[in-house]
Amino acid sequence: MSEKTFNTASLIRKKRDGEELSKDEIQYLIRAYTEDKIPDYQISAFLMASFLNGLNTDEATALTESMLHSGIVVDLSETPGKKVDKHSTGGVGDKLSLILAPIVAACGVPVPMISGRGLGHTGGTLDKLESIPGFTVDVDLDRYKEILKKQNLVLVGQTEEIAPADKRIYALRDVTATVESIPLIAGSIMSKKLAEGIDALVLDVKFGSGAFMKRHEDAVKLAETLVGIGERFGKKTIAYLTNMEQPLGNAVGNWLEVKESIDCLRGGGPDDVMEITHLLAGTMIYLGDMADSVEEGIEMSRQSVEDGTAFQKWVDIVEEQGGDTSVIEDPDSYPKADYIVDVPAPQGGYVSEMDAFALGMASLELGAGRRAKEDSVDPQAGFMLHKKIGDPVKKGETIVTIHTNKKEMADAAAESIQKAITIKQIAPKPLRQVTHRVDTDGIHDHIV
Ligand code: URA
């Protein structure tokens, strides 16, 4: 890494005035901050200048590279084959990782998956995994490599060694209103993913009411930036633009989502979940060189669910990481929340819209999510949707069933859920689950 030093205030001024920073200048800022040579207030000013004036692809790549090399890049060469991961920009009811990771591993592609926790209205894969009694997501790097080598799959949380600069900078962004910047988000995501030791990456970039990017055009820009950075690091990267105008599937909440994932791996599960799962899994299988095309990968993905190998891989990884496999084999044996309350439709018609953000917040209030990073989550809390956009509904029919241990929250959550679901007399147009694919050749319409 460059040892050049610069005047920090001059670099902030340059970015403030809309000029481009060089790779050396960005490397200096990130390295000096990580080494405590620049105070929080100067990096905060740089972040705000970057937020307001943007970073071009060269700058975003330099930022990613600097944050990536603030820690170690894991060497996974002990495990043969191309290692492929998937990253989602986050949503409500997004349990896809739990389903596609065992599918892809069962199809012969190693999946080293480092995931995050839920924050605000979105859920996190780690909280879902930890709802399985005994399952541990905290492992050191040696154990991370050992599990991957043995199982072709590992499902863990971020270690201290992976992109530490991102961890510090993300915490600053959180309190300086600089999170929602496309190049800063892209640099943050890609520095962590590239440090995992992967060869290729599939990105699920969500748009809509429950997504980080509410507007489709912003999600497209984010996808293009992420793919551009991935390709510059020599990693094959494919992104899909997927719909988050309503929660994915029917289950929202940690254990409820694990249970739905088990249904999916056993050949059932909601159609919207399985459509996107097979597309992302098929793309990972293709990028891992186990299929000659995405279509062939999708076929292999379906086959692994049908023949039970994906479910067996799920049982194996739960056991390997210390989880209780009896609740995986028999999900109905899992203890239920104390209060299970049906929410009726206030009128008849068709479900025409859902405010997925408000539904995610209702799930948080029921105990499934956290407001601050230190909060704990209740694995049993959440809700099941019985109706989705386009479904007909009668007045008084149950649209949602709430699960909670906080009796005092049930009435307020039921009211928020009723408000978040719009029922009209005319059936809405069907939603497109996946609108586009973004790869090194640009953006393409996704045709089913
Ligand atoms: N997720 C990340 O990892 N980083 C961001 O900046 C936003 C979402």
- Of 16, 34, 54, the position where a domain reaches its end is 54
Q: Which atom of ligand 1 is nearest to the CA of 179?
A: 6
Q: 236-243 and 200-207 as β-strands: parallel, antiparallel, unpaired?
A: parallel
**pLDDT > 70? residue 2:** no
Instruction: Based on the fold, state whether residues 302 and 241 are members of the same structural domain.
Output: yes
Instruction: Based on the fold, state whether residues 259 and 394 are members of the same structural domain.
Output: no
Q: Which atom of ligand 1 is nearest to the CA of 189?
A: 3
Q: Give residue 312 CA to ligand 1 midpoint distance, Å.
A: 32
- Whether residue 71 lies inside any domain: the answer is no
Per-residue confidence band for 174, with pLDDT thresholds at 50, 70 and 90: confident
pLDDT at res. 159? 85
Instruction: Based on the fold, state whether residues 24 and 123 are members of the same structural domain.
Output: no
- Phi first, then psi: what are they for 199, rounded to 5°? -105, -25
Instruction: Based on the fold, state whether residues 245 and 361 are members of the same structural domain.
Output: no
| Strands across the sheet containing 200-207 | 84-88, 200-207, 236-243, 434-439, 442-445
CA angle centred on 252, ends 318 and 393, rounded to 5°: 135
Task: List residues near ligand 1 (CB under 6 A).
Answer: 170, 179, 184-185, 188-189
- Whether residue 227 lies inside any domain: the answer is yes
What's the mean pLDDT in 241-258? 98
What is the widest separation between alpha-carbon atoms in the chain?
A: 69
What's the mean pLDDT in 316-330? 98
Q: What is the CATH number of the domain that holds 44?
A: 1.20.970.10
Asked about 166 being catalytic, the answer comes back as yes
Both structure tokens of 168: 């510090």
Express as a percent the part of the chain with pLDDT over 70: 99
N-term to C-term CA, the chain: 46
- Whether residue 149 lies inside any domain: the answer is yes
- Whether residue 379 lies inside any domain: the answer is yes
Q: Give residue 197 CA to ligand 1 midpoint distance, Å.
A: 19
pLDDT at res. 1? 47
Per-residue confidence band for 160, with pLDDT thresholds at 50, 70 and 90: confident
Q: Which atom of ligand 1 is nearest to the CA of 192?
A: 3
**pLDDT > 80? residue 373:** no
**pLDDT > 90? residue 309:** yes
pLDDT at res. 447? 83
**Model confidence pLDDT, tens digit, residues 379-400:** 999 999 999 999 999 999 999 9
- Whether residue 69 lies inside any domain: the answer is no
Domain residues for the domain of 224 are 84-329+434-445
- Whether residue 369 lies inside any domain: the answer is yes
Nearest CA to ligand 1 atom 8: 185
Nearest CA to ligand 1 atom 7: 185
Q: How far apart are CA 384 and CA 392, in angstroms?
A: 17
Both structure tokens of 371: 């407001």
Instruction: Based on the fold, state whether residues 284 and 185 are members of the same structural domain.
Output: yes
Q: Which helix (H) or strand (E) holds 383?
A: strand 382-385
- Whether residue 247 lies inside any domain: the answer is yes
**pLDDT > 70? residue 109:** yes
Q: Give residue 212 CA to ligand 1 midpoint distance, Å.
A: 9
**Model confidence pLDDT, tens digit, residues 391-433:** 999 999 999 999 999 999 999 999 999 999 999 999 999 999 9
Instruction: Based on the fold, state whether residues 200 and 256 are members of the same structural domain.
Output: yes
Q: What is the number of structural domains in the chain?
A: 3
Which position among 15, 31, 86, 87 bears the catalytic label?
87
What's the mean pLDDT in 288-314? 98
Which position among 15, 86, 117, 173 bears the catalytic label?
173
**Of residues 386 and 170, more confidently modeled:** 386
Residue 295: count of CB within 10 angstroms of its CB: 11
Instruction: Based on the fold, state whether residues 295 and 379 are members of the same structural domain.
Output: no
Instruction: Based on the fold, state whether residues 287 and 367 are members of the same structural domain.
Output: no
The single-letter code of the amino acid at 386 is H
Instruction: Based on the fold, state whether residues 105 and 48 are members of the same structural domain.
Output: no
Q: Spell out the residues 6+ positions from residue 431 whose beta carbon is closer than 8 angstroms to its own.
A: 243, 245, 246, 389, 390
Asked about 235 being catalytic, the answer comes back as no
Residue from 366, 371, 364 nearest 339 by CA: 366
Per-residue confidence band for 374, with pLDDT thresholds at 50, 70 and 90: confident
Alpha-helical regions (H) of 384-437: 407-420
Instruction: Based on the fold, state whether residues 170 and 270 are members of the same structural domain.
Output: yes
Provide the 3-class DSSP secondary structure of residue 445.
strand
Residue from 98, 119, 236 nearest 170 by CA: 119
Instruction: Based on the fold, state whether residues 220 and 275 are members of the same structural domain.
Output: yes
Provide the 3-class DSSP secondary structure of residue 243.
strand
Mean pLDDT score of the chain: 96
Which position among 69, 192, 235, 387 bears the catalytic label?
192
Asked about 403 being catalytic, the answer comes back as no
What's the mean pLDDT in 72-84? 96
Strand runs labelled E in 84-212: 84-88, 111-115, 153-157, 200-207
For residues 278 and 310, the answer to whether their CB atoms sit within 8 Å is: no
Q: Which atom of ligand 1 is nearest to the CA of 173?
A: 6
Nearest CA to ligand 1 atom 6: 185
The single-letter code of the amino acid at 294 is V
What's the mean pLDDT in 170-186? 91
The single-letter code of the amino acid at 345 is A
Q: Give residue 112 CA to ligand 1 midpoint distance, Å.
A: 19
Instruction: Based on the fold, state whether residues 256 and 392 are members of the same structural domain.
Output: no
Q: How far apart are CA 164 and CA 160, in angstroms?
A: 6
On the 0-12 / 13-18 / 19+ scale of CB atoms within 10 A, 408 is: exposed
Q: What is the CATH number of the domain that holds 215?
A: 3.40.1030.10
- Whether residue 301 lies inside any domain: the answer is yes
**Model confidence pLDDT, tens digit, residues 179-227:** 889 999 999 999 999 999 999 999 999 999 999 899 999 999 999 999 9
Asked about 173 being catalytic, the answer comes back as yes
